[in-house]
Amino acid sequence: MGKSGGMWMAFFRGRYLHSLDAKGRVAIPQRFRESLGGGDEALRLVMTVDPEGCLVVYPEAVWQELEGKWHSLPQMNDELKTYLRFMVGWASDGALDRQGRILVPPPLREYAGLEHDVWFVGVLQNFEIWNGDRLEKATGRDRVRSVTQKLSGLF
């Protein structure tokens, strides 16, 4: 399922409830691990923050692409600097341990308000890690309905 199907793009989909243990570790959903990297090698990733109040996780390759874009931008204005201070300043790169877990650094844990229960949410190219209450607010039906209305013209 989702894995060897052939031309099935390696997108992240779905939501999973996992638990952050006392050491600050959390297991990446198996489904996401499959989308993370080729074969059974490194599985490196980059984690940073999102203004919505959650963490965002990119496969290393995707992140590098982003950095390339930022680096090649013509001029460095204040807005870009603010943006980079945010995205890059919070970024933490790492790898999965042998049990498929990552260690969430304390500052990121605090930023996203992560306690014991955390939600993983796949959004195609990357996935997010949420505090349950915040996620609920961000995906409430009322909000989704209005957004759906606006976007429905696009497809």
Contacting residues toward a second copy, per CB under 8 A: 1-2, 5, 8-9, 11-17, 42, 44, 46, 51-53, 60, 64, 66-67, 69-71, 73, 75, 79-86, 88-95, 105, 107, 121-125, 128, 138-139, 141, 143-145, 147-148, 150-151, 154-155
Cβ atoms of residues 14 and 128 within 8 Å:
no
Q: Which H or E element spans position 120?
A: strand 117-123
Residue 69 interacting entry, from DNA, a second copy, none, C-beta within 5 to 8 Å by type: a second copy
Give the separation between CA 134 and CA 8, rounded to whole angstroms: 31
Q: Which amino acid is at 37?
A: G
Cβ atoms of residues 84 and 91 within 8 Å:
no
In the complex, the smallest distance separating the C-beta of residue 95 from DNA, rounded to whole angstroms, is 7
> Tokens in use for 24?
């600050």
Binding site for DNA (CB under 7 A): 1, 16-19, 21-24, 26-31, 94, 97-101, 103, 105-106, 116
